Chains A and B, each alone.
Chain A
Amino acid sequence: MIELTRCYRLPAAHVLANPRLSDAENDEIFGKCANEHGHGHNYGFDVTVTGEVDSTTGQILAPERLDAVFEAAIAKRYSHRLLNECEAFEALVPTTENFAKIVYDDLAPAIAAEGGVELVRVRLTETPRNFFEYGDER
């Protein structure tokens, strides 16, 4: 089994607070992450795909194609944004758990549309000490 992983970074801001809860409840659950003016991270994305290695090109997928998919599906939507204001988070707290699932769900159909390749998993790194994975287990 062979997998290709490409790594990307983008900065974004978020506020961890559920609008259906009171300020006191949000403070209790999310602590300093509930700061109403937000805070930000250099999010890191490790995008892993698998598929047949093409006999002519020797590639599962040209990295430039994956870059274009990531740019259109993820970077354009989330880079230099407050995640809470993005459509995907209208009804979701922008924890990195939720963000990882959204990134996976955004990328999976766009990658499949390239033909002969599928998304395996996304590792979303929030800080050098926290990362979250969504997709097939390794």
Chain B
Amino acid sequence: MPLVRLTRAIEFSASLRYRAAGLSDGENREVFGLAAEQHGHNYRLEVTVKGEPDPRTGMVMNLVDLKAILEREVMGRFDHRDLNADTDFFKDIPPTPENLAAVIHELLVDALPAGRFDRLRLYQDADLYVDVVD
């Protein structure tokens, strides 16, 4: 069977402010401008898994399992949360889309069955997105 890719999308809303380790409030404003102020986004995450469809089920991966992983690893941690205050990931690094995508990448590679992760695309809004490809 050929390699097939399957993509599942989820959307979550979170608040954040960019704060770099060791910078004062004034320095953060200077480096990041408005992004240093408290604000929020409707994020959209597209997660692509790959594999040969199982000959018995015809599936690359059971969508029920993929949905459960995304619910637990992403929605449960980030939806309607403040990325700085309600998670431990952004104590020392700012929650830029690059850093948030890298955090989600690590969580998903660990949570998915080995070798299934292919890529993710994280939209911060309709006009800006980050791709992480293994």
Q: Which residues of chain A have a CB within 8 Å of any CB of chain B?
A: 1-8, 48, 53, 55-60, 62-64
Contacts and interface: CB of A to CB of B under 8 A. Distances in A.
A7 B21 CA distance: 29
A17 B29 CA distance: 50
B130 A59 contact: no
Interface residues of B, number: 24
B75 interface: no
A59 B128 contact: no
Contacts of B101: 2
Interface stretch (B50-58, B62-70, B89-97): B89-97
Contacts of B33: 64
A2 B120 CA distance: 10
B98 A56 contact: no
A56 B20 contact: yes
Given A1-B133, A2-B102, A59 B96 contact: yes
Given A2-B131, A58-B20, A59-B96, 15 more contacts: A2-B98, A4-B98, A4-B128, A4-B129, A6-B127, A7-B126, A53-B99, A53-B102, A57-B32, A57-B96, A58-B95, A58-B96, A58-B98, A60-B98, A64-B33
Contacts of A7: 126-128
B117 interface: no
Interface string B12-47: 000000101101000000011100000000000000
> Mostly helix, strand, loop or mixed at chain B's interface?
mixed
Contacts of A5: 128-131
A40 B127 CA distance: 22
A7 B18 CA distance: 22
A3 B20 CA distance: 21
Interface in B95-118: 95-99, 101-102
A4 B97 contact: yes
Contacts of A56: 20-21, 23, 31
B29 to A, nearest CB: 13
A118 to B, nearest CB: 15
